[in-house]
Structures are given as structure tokens and as C-alpha cells.
Amino acid sequence: MRLLETLLEDLPAGEIRDVRMGLRWTAVVVEVTGDLRCGLCSSQVHPETVHGEPLNPFAGALDRMPAGEVARFALEPNQPSLASLGVAALNALLPEPPHSMSADVNAEQRLREHGAGKRVAVVGHFPFVPRLREAVGQLFVLELNPREGDLPAAQAPEILPDCEVIAITGLALANHTLESLLALCPPEAQVMVLGPSTPLSPRLFDFGVRWISGSVVEDVERVLKTVSQGGNFRQIHRAGVRLVTLDRERWQGRAA
């Protein structure tokens, strides 16, 4: 949990203004010094959840809790829905990166550029996988629920140490596997954490990440409506989300 604890440090104080726990996505809106911010995370449900059991024992009371307290639900080891809620709150509390330090470049484009002729691993089956397979040297897709052509996620220790470019879903933060996956990546690998669940925090650079590819919610009202109506990310993206990527080298050059 060291990575998660690091991300939870020094978050600004905020008030919960809205929470939507949709079928596919969880969204949290916070108010920080008068500004509304919205964070996203892919919704998780424990596979052994019994019908009738509450997915959120704090339902109806979240708007009376400090946003930082809700963000710490990300550490919840046994209730995946709460962990998703916590990561969404964490993402909402993080300040938007300066435009000068972020690029409106999506993850697929970066992976195509840097994966040509190389061994590439993607943890999580993203919609761009078939296109990426044609653009890189060799592609390994690791997935908890493998589709045709995927490998089981349990094979990560066999695959990741031999790859040159590695992309890991931001959902791995919410299911508490991100830190162990990053530890499997060779030091020379170009590593990306991607997807709307990804915190846009430069602290990820300290854990060996080269690119942080996440999202900024620009139209909060439309995105909340789409989340509530069970929208997938393509629909949420159209509703008002901008994809951004932070580059470690560019960020460190700014700091220097």
C-alpha cells in the first residue's frame, strides 16, 4: 500500500458534492476552494457479493464526510466497490496538471510510437489492443478475465520482466496490484499507467512510471448523467472528458 499511501499524502481539503456509483464507472465530485472537480474510477464489485448486501455501507451519508476520508477508502482491502469510490475521490482531489506539462495525446498513440519493433505488454484488455497488435513487434495482453488472444493476469511475473514497453491499467491501483506489477517491470522498460482510473499525480514517476495517461472531466454535469445511466467510457468521453498524458522527462525538466 506504499504507493497508495504516497498518493493520499498532502491532498487538499475538500467537500463531497456528488457521488455516482454506476454499473461501469464511479464518479466523485468535490469542491476545493470554490472549484468543482470530478474524478473517475472503474466500478468494481466483489465476485462473492450476496444479493441484498450493501455495496456501499455509507450510502446516503457520503456528502457529510470529508473528501479526504472518502479518498482513503482506496485502501479498503475487502470491499472493491469502496476502493473504486476512494480512487475516484482521490482523482477528484488531485489538482489538474498545468497545460504546459500535459499533452492531449492518448495512450494508444504513445504505445504505437514507442512499441514499434519491441516486446510490449498491456495489463488490461483495452479497445485499442487489436490495432496495437499490428503496430508493435510483439504484444502480450494480460487480463483477469482473458479474452481470445489474452494471457491470464497471473502470468505477469513470466511476461513483464522481458518486455521493453509496458502499459498497466489504472484500475490496478483500485484492486491493489499496481505496486507489485511495477516491481516486475525492468528498470530500462518504458512504463505507462493508463485509463480514466489513473491518478494524474507526478508521484507515480517515483515508482518507475514514464507516462501517466489519464483523463480530466471538463463537463461535470453531462459526465455524471452518463455515469448514472450506465455509460461505458466511450460514451463518458464524448460527454465531456479530455485525455491527457504526463511525461516524466518533461516533468523532471520543468522541475530542474
Phi, psi values for residue 63, rounded to 5°: -70, -5
Look up residue 156 and give its three cell numbers: 505477469
CA pseudo-torsion sign 182, 159, 114, 141: negative
Residue ranges for the chain with pLDDT beneath 70: 46-54, 100-104, 254-256
What pLDDT is recorded for position 256? 45
What pLDDT is recorded for position 97? 84
Nearest to 36 by CA among 251, 221, 175: 221
Distance CA 215, CA 237 (A): 9
Predicted TM-score (pTM) of the model is: 0.92
Distance of CA 175 to the CA centre of its chain: 11
Domains (ranges, CATH) in the chain?
A: 10-93 (3.30.390.100), 99-219+240-255 (3.40.50.11590)
Place of cell 482521490: 90
Identify the DSSP state of 97: P
Distance CA 109, CA 42 (A): 22
Phi, psi values for residue 215, rounded to 5°: -145, 155
Q: Which residue pairs, CB below 8 angstroms and at least 24 apart, start in 105-109?
A: 105/243, 105/245, 106/213, 106/243, 106/245, 107/167, 107/192, 107/194, 107/195, 107/211, 107/213, 107/243, 107/245, 108/132
Which residues face 29 on adjacent strands? Answer: 18, 38
For residue 36, what are the contacts with CB-CB under 8 A and spacing of at least 6?
17, 29, 30, 220
pLDDT tens figures, 68-84: 999 999 999 989 999 99
